[in-house]
C-alpha cells in the first residue's frame, strides 16, 4: 500500500480517542503479563520451563500491538478482549522462537538469568520452544477470529523458522546478498509483526484489503527493526560507542551483505574473512579493519540512506497514525542519524 | 467407547468393498511418497534437509490411516483426496517430531543414514523439525475439513511434545509410576494416531461422537504400540532374542515403572540404579540382574497381562473391523505372547 492509499480502511470506524503506544502499555500490560504466565499453566518441566522463560520479561511489543491497533480501529470491549488474547498468543509464539534461538546461538544468559537450555538442558529447550509455538496457535484458535487468521499465523511462524535457517546459511555463504538479508529479516522479524497487525485489524472487523495492508506494514516495521539494529551496532547510539559486536560474532549484517556485493572483490573477501573469524580470534585490530572497510566501501552510508528512507516511509504511513507513538519509539534509537542529513 | 457400542457410527455409510491395510498400502503409498517429497518443496537448507529426512523412509502408517479409514467409511473420491492430504500432513508432523527426537536422544543414524542433526548440525535440526510440524499444520488447513479439526491436530502435537518432555522427566525421576508412563505414551504416540483416525472419520462426514470415538481408539492403539515395544525389548520377538537395550539406554519402560511401584523397595531401588547407570558402564551382568528383578517382581507377567488385555480389546473393537488387517498387523509381534495363555 502506498502511504497515501487510505481506501483500505473503508468500512472501518476509528476510535474517537485513539490510544498512544505508552498509554496502551500502561493500560494493557499488567493484564498481559498475568495472562502470559497463566497461558503457560500446567504440570511438569515443560510448563514450568516455559513460565521460567516468560518471567525473564521483555518489552512485550507483540502482545501490545493487537489491542492497541484494535482499540484505535474502534473495537468494542468484547473485540478488545479478543485482541488481548491474540496479543498473548503472539507473545507466546515470539518467546517460543527465543527459546530455540538461545539454544541455537549458544547464548547461556538472557536478562541476567540462565537461558532455558542452560538451565534445563538442550532436550527440554527443544520441547519448550516448540510447545510455546503450539500454545500460541491454540490460543489464536480459541478466539472468534481464530479460524480466519490461523493459516496466516501458522505461515508467519514458518517464515520465522525459514528466516532462522537462512541466517545460518548466510553465515556460511561465501557471497551473502542484500536480497538474502531482506528475506531473512522479513522472516525472522517481519512475519510476526505482520501477523500482530493483521490480527488486530481482523478483530476490529477489518476486511481482507485492510488485513493485507496491515500485514505489509508489520513486515516493513520488522525489517526496519533489523536494519536499524545492524546499523546501531556499527555507528553507535546516542551516548553509546559503536561496539561492532556483530563483526566479532560472525553476523552477516545488512552493511556486510551490501559490502560483499558492492565493494571491490579483494576488500569484500577480506571483510568476510574477518567476520567469519572465530570470535575468540577476532582481535580489536581486526574489528577496526572491518569497520574501516565498511566505511570506505560506502556500506555504512548506504545503510544510513536505507534507514532514512524506510524510517520516513514508516512515519508517514496511515498505520503509524493509527498507533501513535509506536513508530516514533521504534525509530528513536536512530533519530540522530536521520537528523544528520 | 465400549467395543459393543456401534451407535457412534449412526449416519455413516460403509464401503461395500472395504479395503484391507495391505491393499490400502499398495493403493495409496506411491502417491503418498511422492506427495511427501513435494510437500517439502522449497529452496534452502530448511527444505532440502526436510526432504533428506523424508527420504530415509518409514512405514508411513500415519499417512495411510486417514485414507484407509475414510475409504471404508464410504468416502467419495473427493473426500478420499482430502483424506490423503491429511495423511501427508500427519506424516510430516510425525517426521518433524522424529527430527527433534534424534537430536534429543543423540542418535546419529537413522536407517543407515546420518540423522538431520548429525548431517546439518543442531541448529538446523531444531529448525527442520519445527518447520515440518508447521508444514503439516498448513496442509491440514488447506483441506475442507481443516478448520474443524485444526484445534485437535494442534493439541495432538502439543501432547507429543509433552510426552517427549515427560520421558526425560521420567528418566530423572526417583519414583516413576505406571500412570506417568501412560501419560507419556498417550502423548508421544497415542495423540497423533488419535488425530489420524479423527481426520479420516471427519473427512467421511462422521459426526462429533464418531470423531471422539475414533480419537479414543487411536489413542489406545498408540499406547499399545509403546507397551508392546517395551515388552518385546525384554522378552524377545519370535526368532529374536531379548536384547534389553532399553535397560542399557536408561529408558523407563512400562515394566520398569511397574516394578518401581510394586517390587519391594530395595529391589526397586537396585533396578532403578542399574537402569540409570551410564550406558557405557552398563555391563551385561548388570542387564541380567535387572532382567532378573523384573521377572522375580512380577513386572514381566503384569506387562504380558496388560498387553493381552489391550490386544483383545483392540482386536474386538468395531474400529478394528473398519480397518481390516491393521490391528492384526500391530499385534503380530506379540502374538506368541497372546497365545501362550
Domain ranges of chain A: 7-338
Residues 6+ apart with CB under 8 A from A225: A189, A193, A330
Q: Taking the CA atoms of chain A, what radius of gyration do you get in angstroms?
A: 20
| Cα–Cα dist B259/B289, whole Å | 14
Tell me the nearest-neighbour CA distance from A221 into chain B, angstroms: 24
- CB distance A150–B150 less than 8 Å? yes
Cβ-Cβ contacts under 8 Å, A157 against chain B: 134
Tell me the residue ranges of DSSP E strands in B105-262: 109-110, 113-114
Q: How confident is the model at residue B190 (pLDDT cuts 50, 70, 90)?
A: very high
pLDDT of residue B237: 65
- CB distance A162–B46 less than 8 Å? yes
Tell me the nearest-neighbour CA distance from A296 into chain B, angstroms: 32
pLDDT of residue A191: 98
> A105, A150, A180: which to substitute to probe chain B, counting the most B Cβ within 10 Å?
A150
CB proximity A34 to B under 8 Å: no
**A104, A131, A138: residue with CB nearest B123:** A104
- CB distance A45–B169 less than 8 Å? yes
HEC per residue, chain A: CCCCCCHHHCCCCCCCCCCCHHHHHHHHHHHHHHHHHHHCCCCCHHHHHHHHHHCCCCCCHHHHHHHHHHHHCCCCHHHHHHHHHHHHHHHHHHHHHHHHHHHHHCCCEECCEECHHHHHCHHHHHHHHHHHHHHHHHHHHCCCCHHHHHHHHHHHHHHHHHHHHHHHHHHHCCCCCHHHHHHHHHHHHHHHHHHHHHHHHHHCCCCHHHHHHHHHHHHHHHHHHHHHHHHHHHHCCCCCCCCCHHHHHCCCCHHHHHHHHHCCHHHHHHHHHHHCCCHHHCCHHHHHHHHHHHHHCCHHHHHHHHHHHHHHHHHCCHHHHHCCCHHHHHHHHHHHHHCCC
What nine digits make up the cell of A37? 504466565
For chain B, give the number of residues: 341
CB proximity B177 to A under 8 Å: no
Tell me the nearest-neighbour CA distance from A228 into chain B, angstroms: 25
% pLDDT > 90, chain B: 89
**B126, B133, B150: residue with CB nearest A100:** B126
Residues 6+ apart with CB under 8 A from B247: B256, B274, B275, B282, B286, B287, B290, B291
DSSP conformational letter for B114: E
Tell me the nearest-neighbour CA distance from B318 into chain A, angstroms: 32
| Cα–Cα dist B232/B333, whole Å | 8
CB proximity A137 to B under 8 Å: yes
pLDDT of residue A188: 96
- CB distance A45–B124 less than 8 Å? no
pLDDT of residue B238: 52
Please state which of the four CATH numbers 3.40.640.10, 1.10.600.10, 3.40.30.10, 3.40.190.10 is assigned to the domain occupying A7-338.
1.10.600.10
Q: Are A146 and A140 in contact (CB under 8 A)?
A: yes
Is the pLDDT at B218 greater than 60? The verdict is yes
Q: Are B185 and B212 in contact (CB under 8 A)?
A: no
Helix, strand and coil in chain B, % to nearest 5: 75, 0, 25
CB proximity A289 to B under 8 Å: no
What angle is formed at CA A149 by the lines to CA A143 and CA A152, rounded to 5 degrees? Answer: 140
> A117, A136, A154: which to substitute to probe chain B, counting the most B Cβ within 10 Å?
A154
Give the three-class secondary structure for B212.
helix
Tell me the nearest-neighbour CA distance from A232 into chain B, angstroms: 27
| Cα–Cα dist B287/B282, whole Å | 7
Q: Are A247 and A287 in contact (CB under 8 A)?
A: yes
The enclosing H or E element of B268 equals helix B265-275
What nine digits make up the cell of A234? 556499527
pLDDT of residue B242: 61
Helical packing angle, B178-185 and B208-235, nearest 10°: 120
pLDDT of residue A8: 87
pLDDT of residue B112: 94
Q: Within chain A, which residues score under 70 in pLDDT? A: 1-4, 237-242, 340-341
Mean pLDDT within B81-102: 98
The predicted model scores a pTM of 0.95
Closest residue in chain B to residue A96, using alpha carbons only: B130
% pLDDT > 90, chain A: 89
Q: What are phi and psi of A323, to 5 degrees?
A: -130, 70
Q: What is the dihedral of CA B14, B15, B20, B21, to 10 degrees?
A: -70
CB proximity B280 to A under 8 Å: no
| Cα–Cα dist A77/A4, whole Å | 30
**A130, A141, A155: residue with CB nearest B130:** A130
List of long-range contacts for A48-54, beta carbons under 8 Å, 24+ apart: A49/A116, A49/A119, A49/A120, A49/A124, A49/A125, A49/A128, A50/A95, A50/A99, A50/A128, A50/A131, A50/A132, A50/A135, A52/A116, A52/A119, A52/A120, A53/A95, A53/A98, A53/A99, A53/A110, A53/A115, A53/A116, A53/A128, A53/A132, A54/A95
CB proximity B180 to A under 8 Å: no
- CB distance A138–B151 less than 8 Å? yes
Cβ-Cβ contacts under 8 Å, B134 against chain A: 154, 157-158, 161
Q: How confident is the model at residue B1 (pLDDT cuts 50, 70, 90)?
A: very low
- CB distance A129–B127 less than 8 Å? no
* Alpha-carbon B236 to chain mean position: 20
- CB distance B155–A138 less than 8 Å? yes
CB pairs under 8 A between A and B: 107
pLDDT of residue A237: 65
Mean pLDDT within B299-319: 96
pLDDT of residue A11: 80
- CB distance A129–B124 less than 8 Å? no
CB proximity B130 to A under 8 Å: yes
- CB distance B155–A147 less than 8 Å? no
What nine digits make up the cell of A182? 531482506
CB proximity B166 to A under 8 Å: yes
- CB distance B130–A128 less than 8 Å? no
Mean pLDDT within B53-71: 97
Is the pLDDT at B174 greater than 80? The verdict is yes
**Per residue in B291-301, pLDDT tens?**
999 999 999 99
| Cα–Cα dist B159/B218, whole Å | 14
| Cα–Cα dist B29/A216, whole Å | 40
| Cα–Cα dist B146/B152, whole Å | 10
Closest residue in chain A to residue B139, using alpha carbons only: A151
Give the three-class secondary structure for B253.
coil
Burial tier of B293 (Cβ tally within 10 Å: 0-12, 13-18, 19+): buried
pLDDT of residue B318: 94
Is the pLDDT at B88 greater than 60? The verdict is yes
Closest residue in chain B to residue A161, using alpha carbons only: B127
What nine digits make up the cell of B44? 534452502
Tell me the nearest-neighbour CA distance from B72 into chain A, angstroms: 29
Is the pLDDT at B240 greater than 70? The verdict is no
| Cα–Cα dist B301/B316, whole Å | 23
β-strand pairing of B109-110 with B113-114 = antiparallel
Tell me the nearest-neighbour CA distance from A31 into chain B, angstroms: 25
What ipTM was reported for this prediction? 0.94
| Cα–Cα dist A121/B191, whole Å | 25
Q: What are phi and psi of B18, to 5 degrees?
A: -65, 140
**Per residue in A215-238, pLDDT tens?**
999 999 999 999 999 999 998 765
CB proximity A157 to B under 8 Å: yes
Mean pLDDT within B222-236: 93
**Which conformational region is residue B48 in: left (phi greater than 0), alpha (psi within -120 to 50 degrees), or beta?**
alpha
Nearest to A149 by CA among B253, B341, B147: B147
The enclosing H or E element of B146 equals helix B146-172
Q: Mean pLDDT across chain B, nearest whole number? A: 94
| Cα–Cα dist B93/B90, whole Å | 5
Q: Are A260 and A176 in contact (CB under 8 A)?
A: yes
Grid cell 534424534 is found at B102
Cβ-Cβ contacts under 8 Å, B166 against chain A: 44, 46
Tell me the nearest-neighbour CA distance from A209 into chain B, angstroms: 21
Amino acid at each position: 500500500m502506498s502511504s497515501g492509499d487510505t481506501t483500505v480502511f473503508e468500512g472501518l470506524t476509528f476510535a474517537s480517542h485513539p490510544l498512544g503506544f505508552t498509554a496502551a502499555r500502561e493500560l494493557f500490560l499488567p493484564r498481559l503479563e498475568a495472562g502470559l504466565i497463566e497461558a503457560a499453566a500446567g504440570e511438569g518441566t515443560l510448563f514450568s520451563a516455559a513460565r521460567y522463560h516468560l518471567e525473564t520479561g521483555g518489552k512485550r511489543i507483540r502482545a501490545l500491538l493487537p489491542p492497541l491497533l484494535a482499540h484505535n480501529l474502534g473495537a468494542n470491549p468484547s473485540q478488545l478482549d479478543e485482541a488481548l488474547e491474540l496479543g498473548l498468543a503472539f507473545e507466546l509464539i515470539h518467546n517460543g522462537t527465543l527459546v530455540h534461538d538461545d539454544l541455537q546461538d549458544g547464548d547461556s544468559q538472557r536478562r541476567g538469568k540462565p537461558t532455558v537450555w542452560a538451565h534445563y538442558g538442550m532436550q527440554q529447550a527443544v520441547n519448550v520452544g516448540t510447545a510455546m509455538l503450539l500454545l500460541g496457535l491454540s490460543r489464536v484458535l480459541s478466539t472468534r477470529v481464530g479460524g480466519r487468521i490461523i493459516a496466516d499465523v501458522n505461515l508467519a511462524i514458518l517464515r520465522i523458522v525459514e528466516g532462522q535457517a537462512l541466517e545460518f546459511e548466510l553465515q556460511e555463504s561465501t557471497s551473502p546478498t542484500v536480497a538474502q538479508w531482506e528475506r531473512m529479516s522479513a522472516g525472522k522479524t517481519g512475519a510476526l509483526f505482520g501477523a500482530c497487525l493483521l490480527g488486530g485489524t481482523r478483530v476490529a472487523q477489518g476486511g481482507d484489503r485492510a488485513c493485507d495492508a496491515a500485514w505489509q506494514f508489520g513486515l516493513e516495521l520488522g525489517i526496519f527493526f533489523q536494519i536499524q539494529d545492524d546499523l546501531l551496532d556499527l555507528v553507535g547510539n546516542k551516548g553509546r560507542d559503536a561496539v561492532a559486536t556483530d563483526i566479532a560474532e560472525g553476523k552477516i549484517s545488512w552493511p556486510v551483505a551490501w559490502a560483499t556485493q558492492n565493494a571491490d572483490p579483494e576488500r569484500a573477501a577480506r571483510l568476510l574473512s574477518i567476520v567469519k573469524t572465530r570470535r575468540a580470534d577476532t582481535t580489536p585490530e581486526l574489528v577496526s579493519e572491518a569497520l574501516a572497510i565498511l566505511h570506505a566501501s560506502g556500506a555504512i552510508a548506504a545503510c544510513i540512506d536505507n534507514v532514512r528512507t524506510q524510517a520516513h516511509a514508516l512515519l508517514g504511513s496511515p498505520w503509524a497514525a493509527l498507533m501513535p507513538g509506536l513508530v516514533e519509539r521504534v525509530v528513536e534509537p536512530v533519530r540522530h542519524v536521520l537528523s544528520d542529513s
